[in-house]
Chain A
Amino acid sequence: MKEHDHIEKLFREKLQNLEGDVPASAWENISNQIAATPAAGSAIAKTLSGKLIAGAGIITGAAAIIAGAIYFGNSEDHTNSQQQGTETVSQIGSNEDNASGLSDSEENMAEYNSDKTTSRLKNNNQSAGALQNEAYAGSTEQQLAEESANGEAASSSSNQTSSSQSPSRYGNSPKGPSRIMRGVEQVVNAGANNDRGNAPSGQQTTEVAKANISADKESGDWPLTVQFSNLGTGAEQLWDFGDGEQSTDLSPEHTFKKPGVYTVKLQTSSGRSNAEDKIQITVRSISEIVREPNVFTPNGDGENDLFSIEFKEMRAVTVSISSVNGELVHTWEGPDGSWNGMQMNSGKLLPDGLYYYIIRAVGNDGVVHNKKGSVTLLRSN
């Protein structure tokens, strides 16, 4: 997964604000089609049309200039930016339209024309992002104000609405840099009707949420500390580590306190755009029962005279040994205990034969080991 992450980013950055040449025939085809439907509200049409045509003239002019900037501007850095990246396309969040049945993430797009500004703003967004909650319910004006204060785009973002080629934006700066292609998409969703003060809700500074978990390791021995980060984007992150703990940090470091397989979930949101990703983290236990001999020879020759069990990283051990009849013959506590073949390790020799043992042990890592086995007592040989 990791080695592919940059692909997503690369394509998103380069193509999200892609523009393409539109053949002249496209409009002909469309206008023929829509002309077939009868006009309504012709009174409005009359009052507006003069204005519209005038506006269209200006805009066409502006568009031509912009187009020039697009064609020639992209091969160079946008160092000619007089506007220092203050050009922002602002969008107003649409709350209700379901016309196309799609979700709203499409809306969270706008462009910045300056790479530098973009990355800076992005950072700001992310830091401010922790403030954003339940974006659908609308973030507060305060948040917008705060983010605006952070982002350089603020000055223009709140006052300009969606029309991306409105003459007011370009009329004054005909040499304005190309506004497409380069920028990472970011959204400044200004409040409705251009007016921050009057817009009660729905003001968000967001980008399209994208969840893409990166972890510096996906498995390891207990105790495992993993550094997580989101390679995607999101104003707000909620990490669920699968062990009952959560974090809203951008790139949390988390220590798993018990061995196991954890599904770590990241939910990220920006405005109304949500994304989720999961990753599995395996924390290996370090405590184990290393060796259980199946025979011992307590005959005093110095070899194999004791039955003991080798443990690793155990903090509590109880071993009990019983005869085949179920009679308890010995028990010990602690990882270093042993059995010498006598009843309770004292005096009475127990006969050769098979004995059963039960191990109950708790590792330093909290893992409980319960194990049964058998051992043969063999004195005569």
Chain B
Amino acid sequence: MSDEELVKGCLAKDPAAQKLLFDTYSRKMMGVCLRYADDADEAQDMLQNGFIRVFEKLDSFKAMGSLEGWIRKIVVNESLTWIRKNKYRQNDIALEDVKTGINDESKKGTELNEKDLLKMIAKLPTGFRTVFNLYAIEGYSHKEIAEMLGITEGTSKSQYARAKAQLQKALSLEYELTEKRMA
């Protein structure tokens, strides 16, 4: 089954095709959403909105492109929209124990696993987290981020720097703890 057939099926509102598309990409997209969300519940919200949008917009998908890349862009964008709608009126509270929805993985020595890192990201204030995700992980430039979020380039840069500083701190702490555990 090629993506093209899959898309055709979805455009024809074939439920099996729709489900297949969702099953194919949802775990990855959940991973994307988890990075932008405070917790798994928020991530699920983002994911749902993202996929609903994907199905709405599917007719504008060009077969020449990567379906996954296309879906991913939409999911990121919907995550940002979700944050705009739901988060900026709230205070950013660092969550102590975040339900991440990621499976526990065994630690290898002092190496931090994905869950630890995700937790650190989740503890960042929303603004920092969003910029960090977009810049460090998605690879957007500060200029692009500024446009996407409606902030200035300088704000993007400074939020990024502060996010990094905060992560640095969290990392040092984590390494310290790990060392103590090992000692």
Q: Tell me whether B141 and A19 are in contact (CB under 8 A).
A: no
Contact call A45/B14, Cβ cutoff below 8 A: yes
Cα–Cα distance between A70 and B84 once the two chains are bound (Å): 33
For the complex, give the distance between the alpha carbons of A18 and B30 in Å: 8
Contacting pair A21 B65 (CB below 8 A) = no
Q: Which of under 10, 10 to 19, 20 to 34, or 35 or more describes the interface residues of B?
A: 35 or more
Interface-lining segment among A53-61, A150-158, A363-371: A53-61
Residue A133 is within 8 A (CB to CB) of chain B in the complex: no
Residues of A84-127 contacting chain B, CB below 8 A = 89, 91-97, 99-109
Q: A75 to B106, Cβ gap below 8 A? A: yes
Q: Is the CB of A163 within 8 A of B114?
A: no
Closest A residue to B139 by beta carbon equals: A208
Q: Which of the listed residues A16, A34, A49, A189 has the most CB atoms from chain B within 10 Å of its own CB? A: A34
Does A26 lie within 8 Å of B48, measured CB to CB?
yes
Contact A92 B121 (CB under 8 A): no
Contact status A210-B65, CB under 8 Å: no
Query: Is A192 positioned at the interface, with any CB of B under 8 Å from its CB?
Result: yes
Q: Given the interface contacts A15-B137, A21-B30, does A7 sit within 8 Å of B164 by beta carbon?
A: yes
Closest to A67 in B: B27
**Which residues, 62 to 76 on A, are CB-close (under 8 Å) to B?**
63, 71, 74-75
A106 in contact with B76 (CB, 8 Å): yes
B64 touches A202 (CB 8 A): yes
Q: Mark B58-86, 1 if CB is under 8 A from A, else 0.
A: 00111111111110111011100000000
The reply to whether B9 and A48 contact each other, CB–CB distance below 8 Å, is yes
CB of A273 within 8 A of CB of B68, answer no
A381 CB within 8 Å of chain B: no
Whole-angstrom distance between the Cβ of A118 and the nearest chain B Cβ: 16
A residues near B63, Cβ cutoff 8 Å: 192
Which residues of chain B from 1 to 59 have a CB within 8 Å of any chain A CB? Answer: 1-3, 5-6, 8-9, 11-20, 22-28, 30-35, 40, 43-44, 47-48, 51-53, 55-57
